[in-house]
Amino acid sequence: MAKLDGTNGLIQQYDYQVLTTAFSYTFAAGTQTLIINPAGTLATGTVTMPAAPADGMVITVESTQIITALTLSGNTGQSIVGVPATLFANQPLSYVYRLSNTTWYPFSVARSAVLQVVSGITSSSYTTASSSPTATGYGLSITPSSSTSKILILLAGAMDTGVANNQAVVAVRRGATDLGNSSNNFSAANRMISGLAVIYLDSPATTSSTTYNIYFQAGSSSTITWYSGATLTLMEIAA
């Protein structure tokens, strides 16, 4: 239950915990908010609702670090609607209790988020006359916080075909893996300079550092140029 303070009015009871992975926590009677402040990402954890909640009681769970696989359980005889699989960092989960059917209903549930962003700008121009994919030498690395996360890749820059009847192609690879996405320009009449962009949502399925590199190739033996000032952005999206 909340407590009534003569100076500050109605105050929620909360519990502050520094938990470790595979923790198991049950709300005590009267506690409505759980603040979890672990040292880093937690792979797993279980939170169980209080045993005898009042009708309309709201329970909130908050963590300063992502809990990749969260198990949220009702106490004996209780059920929960809309159970999340992950507790995202700094995105509280709140549930309200309906006594007549002993069920917790979502009051505020965060299901997706941008967890981190890595971005860079190329400071050099790159050239090639190869008709095979060629590394520019520029790339960025990101370390996903969860193996279920997606990585949104945003690449934008300018490419020069050098001459007419030449094709300039740019693509992004994850390590040695061709992501199957590319952007290209071609002009049969004149040399062409144009902006090129790649947008791709990748599923690396790892929590290890992952590098994304810019590749390009020409359509003929004439030299193409990928100009400096291109931007590459990697965004980890919780799924």
Same domain, 231 and 127: yes
| CA gap 152, 130 in Å, rounded | 28
| CA gap 175, 56 in Å, rounded | 52
Answer whether 107's CB lies under 8 Å from 94's CB.
yes
Report the domain count for the chain: 2
Same domain, 26 and 67: yes
Same domain, 123 and 229: yes
Cα–Cα distance list, 206 to 41, 143, 175, 234 (Å): 14, 8, 13, 15
User: What does each of the 239 residues of the chain score in pLDDT, given as a tens digit?
Assistant: 555 555 555 567 999 999 999 999 999 998 999 999 999 989 999 999 999 999 999 999 999 998 988 999 999 999 999 888 888 888 899 999 999 999 999 987 665 678 889 999 999 999 999 999 999 999 999 998 778 789 999 999 999 999 999 999 999 999 889 898 889 999 888 999 999 999 999 999 998 999 999 999 999 889 999 999 999 999 998 77
The tokens describing 6, both together, are 């003569």
pTM: 0.65
Same domain, 31 and 64: yes
Same domain, 229 and 153: yes
Same domain, 132 and 89: no
Same domain, 97 and 172: no
Last residue of a domain, one of 110, 138, 156: 110
| CA gap 5, 39 in Å, rounded | 33
Look-up: residue for tokens 């979890």? 36
How confident is the model at residue 5, as a pLDDT? Answer: 56
| CA gap 174, 208 in Å, rounded | 12
Three-state DSSP at 84 gives coil
| CA gap 105, 174 in Å, rounded | 41
User: Partners of 187 in the beta sheet?
Assistant: 166
Cα–chain-centroid distance for residue 47?
23
Same domain, 63 and 106: yes
Same domain, 90 and 147: no
Three-state DSSP at 130 gives coil
Q: Give the domain range for residue 57.
A: 3-110
Same domain, 52 and 159: no
Last residue of a domain, one of 79, 110, 141: 110
